[in-house]
Structures are given as C-alpha cells and as structure tokens.
Chains A and B, each alone.
Chain A
Amino acid sequence: MSDTLIFAMEVTLNGLMAGVLYALVALGFVLIFKASGIFNYAQGVMALFAAMTLVGIMDGQVPFAHLINAIFGTKVHHFGWHVPALAAIALTMLVMIALAWAVNRFVMRFLVNTEPIILFMATIGLAYFLEGFGDLMWGADIKKLDVGLPQGINETIDEVTFGMFGYGFFIDNLDIVASIIAALLVAALVAFSQYTKQGRALRAVADDHQAALSVGISLNFIWVLVWSIAGFVALVAGIMWGAKSGVQFSLSLIALKALPVLMLGGFTSIPGAIVGGLIIGVGEQLFEFLLGPALGGATENWFAYVLALVFLVFRPQGLFGEKIIERV
C-alpha cells in the first residue's frame, strides 16, 4: 500500500474524531432550535462557561474572587479544597440548570411571540454577557482541565496498524473517549425525546405552541428544560474541548465551526448534526492533507465555510433538514 493512502487513512480517522467534537457543539444548537425556534448563538460560550465552572469547582476556587477582593480588600482565592471530578460535574450541571432558569426568567420570557431575529439577537447579548460573567466569576487565565480522561496515543491502535502497514497510526485516547461519550449522549437524547413524556411534550412545543398549551403543557417548564439540556450538552462539549486544548476563551469560537456543520446537516436534524460534524471533520483534515501544501496550508480555517457555502447554493435545507413547502 502506498504511503499516501496509509497517511490518508490516519488523517481520515483523526478527522472523524474531530468531527465528533464538532457534532457535539452542533447538537446543542439543534436541540434549542428544534424546541423553540431560537438559534442560540451563546451555545459556544455556554460550553466555555461550563468548562470554567467545572475547573473552578474542582480546584476549590472562590467565585468572584477578584470582585470580592477589590471591594473588601481581602485576599481570598481558594477555599483550599479539591472536589472530585464526578461531584464537580454534578455541581456544574446544577449551575447550568440555574443558568437555564435565569435565561428563561430574565430574558426569553419577555420575548415570547417575537420575531426569530429578535430572539437571535438576545442570544448574542447572552453570549457577551456570559463571556464577561464567566471571566468575572472564575478569572480570565487559561486553565488546565483534567477530569481523569485518558490521554495520549492509543498503544493498541498504534501496534495493530504498525503490524498491518508497517506504520503506526497516532490516535489520541481522548478522541476515542470523546467519540464514545458523544455516541452515548446522542442515543440518550434521542431516547429521551422519543420515549418519555417530557420528550413528547418537548416535541409538541416545538411543533405548535397553542396546541401544546391546550393539552396542559407549561411552556416555561419546557423552555427551562430545553435550555438545561443545551447546558448539559455544552458541559460535555466543554469537558472534551477543555481537556483537549485547555479552558480558554478560544473555546467559545469552536461554536462558529458548528455553523457550517449545521448548514451541511440541516438545522432541525439531530442525525444531521452528527453526519455534518463528521463530514466537516474528515473533509477539512483530508483537504489539508491532500491539497493543503499546494494551496499554502492552513486550509482548515476556511474549508468548512466554503463547503457550507456550496451546500447553501445546491441544497439550502441541508442534508437532513426539513424542506417546508408552503401551500398557496
């Protein structure tokens, strides 16, 4: 087998893994969009905020330490304890639920029945607020997130592929774990929305508000639920990306990568988010590997967007999106 083909296989595998992480962020967008018609620009910042909160809780950081010190002239920074990863994740989830409640109580409730573009603008505002709030609460420095996920080269794959091709593939353990977790998360979310009564209520609200009210569904409850689920997905994405590249501001920018993923997969489809993520992940790595050198490199920065643009021209609803035909 030629070297190029073997390298291409390795690149494809790595692309798949990266794609899973893109899909994870895109999933958060799809969930909120499906249930409430809101395109949540803040999804990426929510992932960043979740990761910051998780690190903060694990390290026993005092929230708003700078603010407290500035006002009272104290010098508190740490409680001096360490919270085990699992407990910290549970606590972070509680914070995300509180956030969901607050978003609904203080923002979305006042915007019921307004244009989607206004709701979208509100989420832009939310993104900026949350970014600043996260910094204020936990500090702006780059943090290391270690929840005990395996990291580094997967020896087994390395050995097996070395035996097969005489060249060992480099696949990061973290990527493998991320893929498994993402798959479980998707399965759980699909089961939840298809088979539970809250899932059914959620789909009902997404379909028709008036009808949902008439069967006794509280819209407020469903919206808090949806934002909590989005918060949960953000937390998982935050853990994965945070473990991979550290908890820092650029984490919130990965959310932008979700845009081409959604254009490809369709804004309303959970399978679309996954397939779209994988296509972008593999596509940009392969493109960089095969044509990157000829084009001067760094094609990952724009490849996804160009691909999305092509899709917009030929299939605007995406691969799996609903094509809504209005009867005249």
Chain B
Amino acid sequence: MLDAAEGYTTADGRKIGGVLMEMKNITLRFGGVVAIKDISFDIREGEIRAIIGPNGAGKSSMLNVISGFYNPQEGEVWFRGERRPPMKPYQVAQLGIARTFQNIALFEGMTVLDNVMTGRLTQMKTTLLDQAIWWGKAEREETENREKVEKIIDFLEIQSIRKTPVGRLPYGLKKRVELARALAAEPRLLLLDEPMAGMNVEEKEDMSRFILDVNDEFGTTIALIEHDMGVVMDLSDRVVVMDYGKKIGDGTPDEVRSNQDVIDAYLGVAHD
C-alpha cells in the first residue's frame, strides 16, 4: 500500500506525486437502485488513472460524483487534502476539475474558438462592471486568455477549424474540441468520459496520443473512463475495475489483467 503523500515511479520512468483526490466509501443510490456500492480509491498527482468496467458497471456515475453532477448518499470526497462538501457542478469546475462528456456536450452554435474560450471562464477574474467598461482590464484579460487558448488549439491541431461552428464538425473532431475546452481551464484534474467511444481506429490512436501528450506536456492529472480494455491498458498508470457498482480490482494494468474477478467480469463466467 502506498503512502498518501509519497509518490511512485511508473514503468516508463515518470514520477507520480501524492494523493490529489480520494474517494472514501462512496455509495450512490437512485431510489432503490444502487449505482455505486462502497467504493474507495485515490487519484495521484500527475497520474493517468482509468476506471473501467462492463456496461452498467457504474463508471459514469462515479465520474459524475467526482464532477459534482451527482452527490453520493454515503462516503466522502477528498480533494487536495480537504474534504469536499456537497457541491454544484459549476462549483466543482471552479475548484479546477474539468470534464468531457460521453455524448459530447459542446456549444453547437458557437465557433471552436468560442467553445474553447468558455473553458477559460473559471480563470477570468474581471467583474461585470469591468466587462461593461471593456477598455483596460477586460480587454487585457481577453487578450491574455486568447493567447493561452490559441496555444491549446495549436497543441491539439485544430487550427484549421478555429472559426467553424462546432455543429458542423464530424464526431471525432468534436471530441477533440471538447478536450480542448476542458484543457483550457488548466485543470488540476481532467475527467474524460469515454474519450474513444464511437471512434474508428485512427481516431482512437490520435486521441490516445493527445491524452499522453497532455499528461506529458502539462503534467495534468487525468482520470478517464473506458470500456475498451485494450486502449486503457496501454494508456493508464493505474486502473480501477468496477462491475455491478462494486470495485473488483485496483492496480497497475498488469495486476488488473491477471486478476481473476476482472477476467470473469469481462469474459463472463457461469454462475452456479
């Protein structure tokens, strides 16, 4: 068992820091349905952490708990060494937790640039009054943030579609724009909800490369959900495996791969 403050070194030699986020005994119910049952795990600074499991395992619910869209009935959420009280999603975003969505939630009528700029909202501090006056403070802030956004757009190679309304883009590019918007917030923790869902092989490879690059370049801690096991095993440092709302495995990809419960959950096993 790892110490909370102490880090570890990955197989490819990256240094992982102390605990950034810790979920303690989380239970989430919808009426009589238990979506998450008593799950605990942590996410460490600089890590790529995956949550996997078959359909209906409760992965998305877990991500929604982390991002504040659901509040669990039991258990504690700890972030940066402090217990996080129940919060609204926008407050969680202001804490520095950005996310993408499984079904893509972009502002379809706005351009790519504007979409990514909304990611900067948590970083922009001028008041309504400053904005109304515009000249001076607000103008400077806009320029500074615009520069940061342009860097991210370059980084994710979407320069050519900067001014295109998002509604007109193909699926794979939309996913990338959503990643750009989340990244624009300079998050302490980036949550990706099935970043490869519905993609072809080539798009999956692109997305994997971007996820690794983001982690490498900005040192961003990433927690992602996938049910495509192959992709996840290559990407992540540590993996939580869920099935029927319970945690059935937690460890490095190699540890998880050889875990009998995980094999059963994925391949199916005869119940007698």
Contact = CB atoms under 8 A, between A and B. Distances in A.
Contacts of B132: 192, 196
A199 B107 CA distance: 14
B65 to A, nearest CB: 14
A225 B129 CA distance: 13
Interface string A136-170: 00000000000000000000000000000000000
Interface stretch (A40-48, A98-106, A208-216, A241-249): A208-216
Contacts of B105: 208, 210-211, 214
Contacts of B99: 214
A197 B107 CA distance: 15
Contacts of A218: 88, 90
A78 interface: no
Most chain A CB neighbours (cut-off 10 Å) among B69, B120, B121, B132: B121
A218 B131 CA distance: 17
Nearest to A268: B109
B172 interface: no
B106 A208 contact: yes
B90 A195 contact: no
Nearest to B99: A214
Interface in A183-218: 192, 195-201, 203-204, 206-208, 210-218
A219 B90 contact: yes
Interface size class of B (residues with CB under 8 A): 35 or more
B107 A211 contact: yes
- Measured as residues with beta carbon below 8 angstroms from the partner, the interface class of chain A is 20 to 34
Contacts of B194: none
A213 B88 contact: yes
A198 B126 CA distance: 10
B89 interface: yes
Interface stretch (B40-48, B110-118, B207-215, B216-224): B110-118
A197 B126 contact: yes
Contact of B90 (A199, A206, A213, A225): A213
A213 B108 contact: no
Given A196-B134, A196-B138, A207 B110 contact: yes
A207 B120 CA distance: 17
A204 B117 CA distance: 11
B164 interface: no
Contact of A214 (B89, B124, B128, B141): B89
B121 A215 contact: yes
Contacts of B21: none
29 contacts: A192-B131, A195-B134, A197-B126, A197-B131, A198-B131, A199-B131, A200-B110, A200-B114, A204-B107, A204-B110, A207-B108, A207-B110, A208-B105, A210-B69, A210-B101, A211-B101, A211-B105, A212-B118, A213-B69, A213-B90, A214-B99, A214-B101, A215-B93, A215-B98, A215-B181, A215-B185, A216-B90, A216-B122, A225-B128
A199 B117 CA distance: 12
B224 to A, nearest CB: 15
Interface in B134-178: 134, 138, 141-142
Contacts of A206: 109
A225 B134 CA distance: 17
Nearest to B89: A213
A166 B167 CA distance: 57
Contacts of B67: 214
A187 to B, nearest CB: 13
Given A196-B134, A197-B124, A215 B119 contact: yes
Given A197-B131, A218-B90, A204 B118 contact: yes
B167 to A, nearest CB: 10
A217 to B, nearest CB: 6
B94 interface: yes
Interface string B67-103: 1010000000000000000001111011000110100
A201 B118 contact: yes
B131 A196 contact: yes
A215 B118 contact: yes
Contacts of A207: 107-110
Contacts of B138: 196-197
Given A198-B128, A198-B131, A216 B93 contact: yes
A316 B131 CA distance: 37
Contacts of B110: 200, 203-204, 207
